[in-house]
Amino acid sequence: MKKLIFCLVMLWGISPVYAQRFGYINSQKIVDKLPQYAEAKREIETLTEQWQQEIDTLQLQTTQLRRDFEAEKVLFTDLQKQQKQELITEKENELKALQTKYFGFDGQLFKKRDELLKNVQEKVFQATQKVARKRKLHFIFDKASDLSIVYSDPIYDFTEDVMAELGLTPKNQGGITNPKGDKNSNAAGDDDAGVGQPDNTPSTPPTETKQDDKKPTTPTTNKKSGKKGK
């Protein structure tokens, strides 16, 4: 399947570079999970086999004509040789035309694939747009496209979010989220703390109450009388 390329630009006003938020998806991983893609792929494979068999049959006929001519040309007159060669040339041209018709750049296979996969691509595109709006992203790149990505932090991966929009995975199961539940809160230019980072605020250890050691008490005396109380 031709790789999908997404670069969704959410036009919510021109923002400074430091305020832009972005993420990426793997469109191939998404479409592989779609039942519509599996059906389209099977239909394309079936048509490819049928067309290839038709080409192979014509190829065998052309090859046989060439072999027969080479084996018997000594028996032919000049006119017969010319007629046989014209027939072979005609078959060869027919073969080339058939190959171009089915598998050429703008052939039936290309058109059929584009027709069958158009709905799949549209579903993924719409789901990606929804994720971009919900997450307030300005750009979403496709890791499965020809765009070269040397390294990508999983925190910016919204593939699972798009799959959830398509009903392929449970909601809120995609990617990594921070304690606030806002995935990608640490996107480029975001002033929030990094996702999943621990709280560095020092905590005061609980104080322990100590009881004074109890001292033994002594009996009191009557100071006025100078006598011990009876």
**DSSP string of 173-211?**
-SS---TTS-TTTTSTT--SPPTTPPP----PPPPPP-P
What would the pLDDT profile of 53-101 be if each residue is shown by its tens digit?
Answer: 999 999 999 999 999 999 999 999 999 999 999 999 999 999 999 999 9
Would you list the domain boundaries of the chain? 17-165
The DSSP secondary-structure symbol of 150 reads S
* Tens-place pLDDT, residues 108-150: 999 999 988 888 989 999 999 999 999 999 989 988 887 777 7
Helix (H, G, I), strand (E, B) or coil at 83: helix
The highest-confidence range among 141-145, 197-201, 226-230, by mean pLDDT, is 141-145
DSSP state of 107: S
**Amino acid (1-letter code) at residue 150:** V
Average confidence (pLDDT) over 202-207: 49
Confidence band for 171, pLDDT divided at 50, 70 and 90: low
What is the distance, to the nearest Å, from the Cα of residue 174 to the centroid of all Cα atoms in its chain?
12
Residue 222 has pLDDT above 50, yes or no: no
pTM listed for this prediction: 0.57
d(CA 110, CA 117): 11
Amino acid at 111: K
